[in-house]
Chains A and B, each alone.
Chain A
Amino acid sequence: MTTSDLLILCAAGMLVSAYLMVGQKALFTAIRLYGVQSLLLGIVTVTTAVSESRPELFVTAAITVVLKAILIPWFLMRLIDRIGIHREIEPFLNVPASLLVCLGLTVVGYRVSTGFPGGAQGVSHHLIGVALSMLLIGLFLMVTRKKAITQILALLTVENAVFLVAVGVTPGMPLVVELGIAFDIIVAVLLLGTLVRRIVDRFESMDVSRLSKLKG
């Protein structure tokens, strides 16, 4: 298997994980899917680092795997264990319809990716296409789901998509910036987790569609 095959395979795997997340109601599985997605992102990063001999990408890969494939999923699982809510309720749009919408979003993502320099062919076409599709799917998840945890996962999927773009079309962000971004993301997830716990304590539910007192 050549390097580009591996890259395309991993990118495809990330897209599949995003689709599975859309079709999934058990929160534990959704979190695991996010973990797998981040792991695949890590593999994409390592492969790029080796094939294009960009050693600084190893650090990015290490951050990705430790933070997003291990720490964040672990934190989120502990969180739903504590609050004892394990399933997503009926989303605003049912699963078959959601998957059809996501299919359309993927087409849009791939269409846009052809505008990039060298985007019409080769590996970067797939990386950008997948990344933009994941971005759109993440946004879609965010507006159609009610559970706070699913919204966090949708946000993190969007974040993964951004990082895939970064690996796919740039020579890697500067390391200081990369570290700063990683720090910010982990703090954001911690804060989101704290807020979820406070919301559950208060409303005895993490159904964010109940947060609807503030209008006008």
Chain B
Amino acid sequence: MNLLVWTLTVPLVTAAIGGLGGPRKFKEAVMVGGLLLTFALCVATARAFLGGAVPAAFGDALRVDGLSALMLVLCGYVGLLSATYGVGYLRRNEARKLVTPRMRREFYGLIPAYVFAMLLVSMSNNLGIMWIAVELTTLASVFLITFHDKDTSLEAGWKFLVLGSLGLAFALLGTVLLFAAGQGHLGEGMAALNWTHFMQAAPSLHPFTLRLGVVFALIGYGTKAGLAPMHTWKPDAYREAPSPAGVLMAVGMLNGALYCLLRIHLISKAALGPAFSGDLLLMLGLLSVLIATPFILVQWNLKRLLAYSSIEHVGIMAVGIGLGGEAAAFGALLHMTYHSLAKPVAFFSAGTLAQLHSSSNFDRIGTGTFSRAPVASGLLVLAALMITGSPPFGLFFSEMTILKAGFFSAHVTATSIFLAALVVLFCGFAFQIGGIVLGPPRDPKDRRVPQPEQFDVAMVTAIVAAIVAIVSAFYLPASLLALIHAATQVVWGSA
């Protein structure tokens, strides 16, 4: 059977087994094993691509080029981390008798299903399949957001589903309009919606219909990516979702939505030139970075803080793509890669602190966590340094690449605003994290005693993720770098 089909089948089967009953140990083994195998298959696909092949299936509806290969590897990696951390996460809750059978079924079923949908997004070459896959990610994640079944999680789930469905209705309209724009030039049947056909037919697409379609599609998929001003679901969803699901949203879903934005942008670029959709992305990206800034400064909840950081990062990537040029595109993709490696550390350490204190609100966590949970606090500081782009970590280099490209482009004013926002964001984030980790230890008379930190599989996962993220800053494997370059070629040809 085809390599791509295997890559999709494995997480799907894992989800099916996890969703059914069965002893806990068995389900844990299936989820970790299944997603480990999935990651291996993603890497194998990327290797096949680097070896010169173009893996494809179902008449090119699924097709792996440089961009897809990079997405697959990152998605597979995060899926695996989420599974191993998830096992530890649920064990901690089991120990405190917080887990119902419904939760077990949903957790072991939906996490692999979510990974499946994201992999399907990353390898889809057909705009119709891409839309269906993005909708699947939305459907798979709703019950992960309402997982804890509290008032606030129902609210977050409702907002997420309604806003997400609306965004997807826009994306569907965009897809239909793109299809209409290419009438008579795209061929027959299923293949007519293939991205590769759109690229070939780009010069003959009907300009008005295409413009309208691109705007709708960018707003639609932008909603899924969490670009401002369509970002409002994100803080709620991130806060309510358990951390293993949160990391899938913050990395997998973000990358997947960015993939869709890129595909649409590339069609628009080939047909109308880089300025039309590029400027739109630049505007949305800049707005995201600017909107995230005040909310990070006044934030009251640790996981919402991470959500605003995620809005900031998707903004940075959109700016990188919107600026145009090979260097900026490379910067954006490098940023995506380093972000995917660094963000899990932030989620796992923040998730651990939230779990120990039974809440992610700052007032419940209190200050001076370093004395209570040294490992999680240390990792949180490390993660904060990484995701705010401090040297010597990877995101520093990618942000510098984008900034440099920006100052050499026609968008100097936009780049200057962008740089100023990044500086404020860095200070705001450092202030918030510093406040939690350092500061005076907890009031001994406070009766809500936090749980002690334990050395378990979740902590090991967090430490391993941190080591990978640190090492990647100094030594990026040649094959991964080759993938990023291949993806850059897709995004900004050799022109």
Contacts and interface: CB of A to CB of B under 8 A. Distances in A.
B216 to A, nearest CB: 9
B295 A216 contact: yes
Contact of B165 (A155, A161, A176, A199): A155
Contact of A181 (B156, B172, B212): B172
Contacts of B209: 115-117, 169
A173 B161 contact: no
Nearest to A167: B176
A216 B298 contact: yes
Interface in B284-335: 295, 298-300, 304
B132 A184 contact: yes
A141 to B, nearest CB: 11
A203 B151 contact: yes
B440 to A, nearest CB: 25
A171 interface: yes
Given A170-B179, A180-B129, A195 B193 contact: no
A interface bracket (residues with beta carbon within 8 Å of B): 35 or more
B221 to A, nearest CB: 15
A176 B176 contact: no
B484 interface: no
Nearest to A176: B190
Given A158-B169, A203-B151, A195 B180 contact: no
Contacts of A188: 135, 138-139, 161, 165
Interface string A127-154: 0000000010001001000001001000
A157 B495 CA distance: 44
A180 B132 contact: yes
A191 B158 contact: no
Contacts of B165: 155, 188, 192
Interface in B153-204: 154-159, 161-162, 165-166, 169, 172-173, 176-177, 179-180, 183, 189-190, 192-193
Interface residues of B, number: 49
B176 A170 contact: yes
Query: By DSSP majority rule, is chain A's interface helix, strand, loop, or mixed?
Result: helix
A112 B211 CA distance: 12
A171 B235 CA distance: 41
Interface string A88-120: 000000000000000000000000100111000
Interface string B123-147: 0001011011001101100110010
A195 B189 contact: no
A214 interface: yes
A174 B146 contact: no
B136 A184 contact: yes
B154 A199 contact: yes
B152 interface: yes
A198 interface: yes
Contacts of B190: 174-177
Contacts of B173: 135, 161-162, 165
B142 A214 contact: no
B442 interface: no
A36 B397 CA distance: 57
A191 B139 CA distance: 8
Nearest to B176: A166
Contact of B155 (A142, A180, A191, A211): A211
A216 B299 contact: yes
B239 interface: yes
Contacts of B183: 117, 169-171
Contacts of A181: 128, 131-132, 135, 172
A213 interface: yes
A213 B152 contact: yes
A162 B173 CA distance: 5
A40 to B, nearest CB: 19
Contacts of A166: 176, 179
Contacts of B139: 184, 187-188, 191
Contacts of A187: 139
B306 to A, nearest CB: 14
B208 interface: yes
Contacts of A117: 183, 206, 208-209
A83 to B, nearest CB: 14
Given A173-B128, A188-B161, A208-B158, A162 B235 contact: no
A82 interface: no
Given A116-B208, A173-B128, A174-B193, A195 B239 contact: no
14 contacts: A142-B162, A155-B165, A158-B166, A159-B172, A169-B176, A169-B177, A173-B179, A175-B190, A177-B132, A177-B193, A195-B142, A195-B158, A202-B151, A216-B299
Interface of A: 112, 115-117, 135, 139, 142, 148, 151, 155, 158-159, 161-162, 165-166, 169-171, 173-177, 180-181, 183-184, 187-188, 191-192, 195, 198-199, 202-203, 208, 211-214, 216
In the A-B complex, list the 10 residue pairs whose CB atoms are closest, starting with the nearest.
Answer: A177-B128, A180-B132, A211-B155, A169-B180, A184-B135, A115-B208, A174-B190, A214-B236, A162-B173, A170-B180
Given A165-B173, A191-B142, 18 more contacts: A115-B209, A117-B206, A158-B166, A162-B173, A165-B176, A174-B192, A181-B135, A184-B132, A184-B139, A187-B139, A188-B138, A195-B142, A208-B158, A211-B155, A213-B151, A214-B152, A214-B235, A214-B239
